[in-house]
Amino acid sequence: VRVKTITNQNWEPKRFRGNIVASNSQYLAYVLASRSGYVIRLIHLQTNDRALLKKFNGEILDISFAHNHSNLLGVIDEAGNLYVYDIDKTNGDINKINDCLKLHIFNGVIPDGKTHLLVWAPYIQTQQDNGDDDNVMIAVSHDSRVIDCISN
């Protein structure tokens, strides 16, 4: 077993209901607290290139990739806003992410104490579909209320 330190981040010792670390076959993403709020650090696993995703409303409660070979990263913050990023490493530089924010659903004002989580599910193709394997479905829960959307 080989162990490699990636960050010296000291996360607050508390129970996290969602994921604050996510990975797929190319990237590692994790939540950090910064001076300007919460951010997500992205690391390309083969090149160790790094980038930051910023401008979230409060604490980030849950992050996850759609599946192991997808570059779709879903993020939900404490206001219940859903962000879906299409992370595409272009020209060998992770900092040149083109049109990274693919979807933003503004949830509005949610009372404090709400739990927001997200779950990805593979999109089940029908015969009318054009065979696009990038179709996925994401469900977002706001306590007992769930919304879903299909992305491609």
The pLDDT of residue 81 is above 80: yes
Average pLDDT over residues 106-122: 72
The strand pairing partners of 103, in sequence order, are 84
Residue of 106 and 25 predicted with greater confidence: 25
In this structure, what token pair is assigned to residue 18?
């969602």
In this structure, what token pair is assigned to residue 74?
């879903």
Q: How confident is the model at residue 62 (pLDDT cuts 50, 70, 90)?
A: very high
Report how far apart, in Å, the C-alpha atoms of 16 and of each of 9, 70, 74, 100 are: 15, 24, 17, 26
Task: For residues 113 and 1, give the distance between their C-alpha atoms in angstroms, rounded to a whole number.
Answer: 40
Which residues are within 8 A (CB) of 68 and not within 5 positions of it... i.e. 6 or more apart? 24, 25
Mind listing the pLDDT tens digit for each residue in 30-53?
999 888 889 999 988 888 888 888
Determine which of 70-74, 78-82, 108-112, 133-137 has the lowest per-residue pLDDT on average: 108-112
Structural domains of the chain, ranges and CATH numbers in brackets: 21-151 (2.130.10.10)
The 3-state DSSP class for residue 97 equals: coil
The 3-state DSSP class for residue 57 equals: coil
Task: For residues 24 and 148, give the distance between their C-alpha atoms in angstroms, rounded to a whole number.
Answer: 22
pLDDT recorded at residue 35? 84
Average pLDDT over residues 86-100: 63
The percent of residues in the chain predicted with pLDDT above 70, rounded, is 74
User: Which of 94, 68, 98 lies closest to 85, judged by CA?
Assistant: 98
pLDDT recorded at residue 63? 95
